[in-house]
Amino acid sequence: MTALPSASAIPLSGVLTYQTEAFAGVGTCDDRVATTSTLAGAYQPAVASALVRGAASDWATILTDVVASIGALTEIAGFETTASGHEARLRLPGNTVLRVVAGAPARPKAHPQNAIVVSAVIERVGDTASAELATLLSTVERVRFTPLEMAELRAQMPLTATLPRFMAPRCLATVAPVLTVHHMSDFLVMVDAVTAMGVPVAGITVIDKGYRYRHTGRVDAQLRASGIAVYPWTAVPEALADHTDRARALDRRGLLVDDGGYTLPVLLDQRPDLAGAFVGLVEQTTSGIAKLGRFGDRLPLPVFSVAESRLKATIESYGIADASVRNTLDLLPNEKFEGQSALVIGFGRIGEQVAEVLRARRMRVAVYDAAIVRLVAAHERGFQTDRSLARLLAHHRPLLIVGTTGQPSLRGEHVASLRRDCFLVSTTSRTNEFALDELVEEARFTSDAGVTGFRLHLASGATATVVADGFPVNFHHAESLPNKYSDLVLAALLVGAVTLARPDHGFDAGHNVAATDAALESSGLLDRYYRRFGPAGTQ
């Protein structure tokens, strides 16, 4: 081993732009520490590993990223590395020693091409607390994306990546966007496009929604390394205030690009004095639009509603339904669903597609919706239905219950109707779909089910497993939609941003569904999408 200078003298290629306070604020969710989160009391041996794709020349950069993340959390008392640059040994406070290794997997054919495995192990425990050790090990999940990975992401998302070529030069040069978009790999291509259209990194704020995405730590590391301000979703008021100050310093107005109604309701409720500093909102989801309902005609800003657009309805609903079912199957690999009963609660855009996907998987599917027009639509499509959810639960005896309404659909009053072991799966925002407090109160006790979620042990003797702890299953340690699906929607959000950035956009305060459709359908996005995936597809 070759001894190097102290950690403060190690060249970290700008990676130490992390701020300890910000890193800790984003990383306080216990689900961020997937490898050793069960540690308590005496330390148990644990290893954290992550899979990266790149060249052997990336090994040193990967190690630098891990060291930078560790250095943002604790003082590094000493540092050694091998001459090859693929192994590092760190001496930490409390006489703890942590070893980090990056290299090719032992069985290359069992991994994707160009795979690199980066691992961390506590070589000597010392006096460091178990919880801190778990956090330090998890830094291997905060490696930035390699050049190879970024090139592949751009190739998977040509609509988003090339959109700046089809727009006027510097078309976003007058705005500073707040981006509340899922921390998945596709988001990085969107951010690249935003900067290419004239927004400096100082004019961008990202709100981290805190879901358990597959690559959330890596995406966060990429954003922070580029100098972009990242705030947790619990700190939106502070983020909006800070963003407004930075936008004014750049002589720009703010622009909200949202996925789920995280920003505009907070702006109007808690910081209405800042509303005039923003030009408008681009909203991706119907749940976000629903959160604006209580403001009625008092919305002071124009809304570009990708959520309600014909473009999104045509493409995305099936993709979300398919991803939700596929991730459910991945989380429950030993279950047999063919021939079993399923219940879909809600027959909106997502619900009807989930019902069809489950039926295509040979399940016996029932549907409940509180709205009679949707219940009739489900009945006419051949699904079993009933006006009473409790009665449908009791008689259909579903093995799989999928909630798609976006509001509490399964409550404590329904527990008595659960007559068999079953799985509760949500496809909607956060933990809104199931009244978890009520369900837990009705259970005899609960138990942990690891990555699958947690179990409700009911008085009837049945067990209801809340998959993904009630969070949307399509985001649970996954990338949700394949990037080739999300490409069109993220590009549509950028079209909305470009539209509202123009002073002559013609959008009124409040909802502009027809104007949104007109802008999207005249943008050329669907033409380029059809050329790619249509009969003469060039994908």
What's the CATH number where 61 sits?
Answer: 3.30.310
* Coil, helix or strand at residue 41: coil
Q: How many other CB atoms sit within 10 Å of the CB of residue 271? A: 16
- Looking at residue 45, its pLDDT comes to 60
Total domains in the chain come to 3
Q: Is the pLDDT of residue 43 over 60?
A: no
In a domain, 483, yes or no: no
CATH number, position 210? 3.40.50.1480
Residue 179 to residues 93, 100, 441, Cα–Cα distance (Å): 37, 33, 37
Clarify whether residues 338 and 298 are in a common domain.
no
The residue with tokens 């178990």 is 130
In a domain, 99, yes or no: yes
- Can you give the pTM of this predicted structure? 0.84
Q: How many other CB atoms sit within 10 Å of the CB of residue 168? A: 13
In a domain, 425, yes or no: yes
Task: Determine the Cα–Cα distance for residues 12 and 413; give it in Å rounded to an integer.
Answer: 56
Q: Is the pLDDT of residue 127 over 90?
A: no
In a domain, 482, yes or no: no
Q: Is the pLDDT of residue 468 over 70?
A: yes
Q: How many other CB atoms sit within 10 Å of the CB of residue 372? A: 9
Q: What confidence tier does 68 reach under pLDDT thresholds 50, 70, 90?
A: confident
From 29, 116, 84, 75, select the one nearest 98 (Cα to Cα).
Answer: 75
In a domain, 26, yes or no: yes
pLDDT average, residue stretch 247-252: 98
Query: Do 243 and 252 form a contact (C-beta atoms < 8 A)?
Result: no
CA angle, 124 as apex, 122 and 125 as ends, to 5°?
A: 80
Clarify whether residues 112 and 156 are in a common domain.
no
Output the DSSP codes for 455-511.
EEE-TTS-EEEEEGGGSBGGGTTS-SS-HHHHHHHHHHHHHHHHHHHSTT--PPSEE
Using one digit for the tens of pLDDT, what is the confidence trace for 102-112? 989 999 999 99
Residues belonging to the chain: 539
Query: Do 356 and 382 form a contact (C-beta atoms < 8 A)?
Result: no
In a domain, 539, yes or no: no
What dihedral angle (degrees, nearest 10) is formed by the CA atoms of 67, 72, 75, 78?
Answer: 10
- Around 533, how many Cα atoms within 13 Å sit in the side-chain half-sphere? 12
Clarify whether residues 221 and 271 are in a common domain.
yes
Q: What confidence tier does 56 reach under pLDDT thresholds 50, 70, 90?
A: confident
Residues 6+ apart with CB under 8 A from 336: none
Indicate the average pLDDT of the chain: 88
| Phi/psi at 227 (5° precision) | 95, 10
Query: Do 117 and 63 form a contact (C-beta atoms < 8 A)?
Result: no
Task: Determine the Cα–Cα distance for residues 144 and 471; give it in Å rounded to an integer.
Answer: 26
Task: Determine the Cα–Cα distance for residues 36 and 371; give it in Å rounded to an integer.
Answer: 45
Domain C-terminal end among 126, 143, 160: 143
Clarify whether residues 103 and 173 are in a common domain.
no
Tokens representing residue 18 in the block: 């992390």
The number of angstroms, rounded, from the C-alpha of 397 to the middle of its chain's C-alpha atoms is 32
In a domain, 480, yes or no: no
pLDDT average, residue stretch 117-134: 87
Clarify whether residues 15 and 136 are in a common domain.
yes
Q: What confidence tier does 329 reach under pLDDT thresholds 50, 70, 90?
A: very high
From 241, 215, 246, select the one nearest 228 (Cα to Cα).
Answer: 246
Clarify whether residues 306 and 160 are in a common domain.
yes
Clarify whether residues 155 and 134 are in a common domain.
no
Structural domain of 181: 149-312+491-533
* Coil, helix or strand at residue 20: helix
Clarify whether residues 462 and 374 are in a common domain.
yes
From 238, 219, 218, 220, select the one nearest 230 (Cα to Cα).
Answer: 220
Domain C-terminal end among 143, 169, 196: 143
First to last CA, the chain: 48
- Looking at residue 26, its pLDDT comes to 27
pLDDT average, residue stretch 477-482: 78
Q: Is the pLDDT of residue 206 over 90?
A: yes
From 280, 290, 288, 286, select the one nearest 260 (Cα to Cα).
Answer: 288
Clarify whether residues 281 and 175 are in a common domain.
yes
Clarify whether residues 267 and 181 are in a common domain.
yes
Task: Determine the Cα–Cα distance for residues 479 and 483; give it in Å rounded to an integer.
Answer: 8
* Coil, helix or strand at residue 48: strand
Q: What confidence tier does 32 reach under pLDDT thresholds 50, 70, 90?
A: very low
Clarify whether residues 134 and 162 are in a common domain.
no
Domain C-terminal end among 143, 168, 198: 143
Q: What confidence tier does 316 reach under pLDDT thresholds 50, 70, 90?
A: confident
In a domain, 95, yes or no: yes
Contacts for 124-127: CB closer than 8 Å, 24+ residues apart: 124/95, 124/96, 124/97, 125/43, 125/96, 126/92, 126/93, 126/94, 126/95, 126/96, 126/97, 127/93, 127/94, 127/95, 127/96
Clarify whether residues 126 and 201 are in a common domain.
no
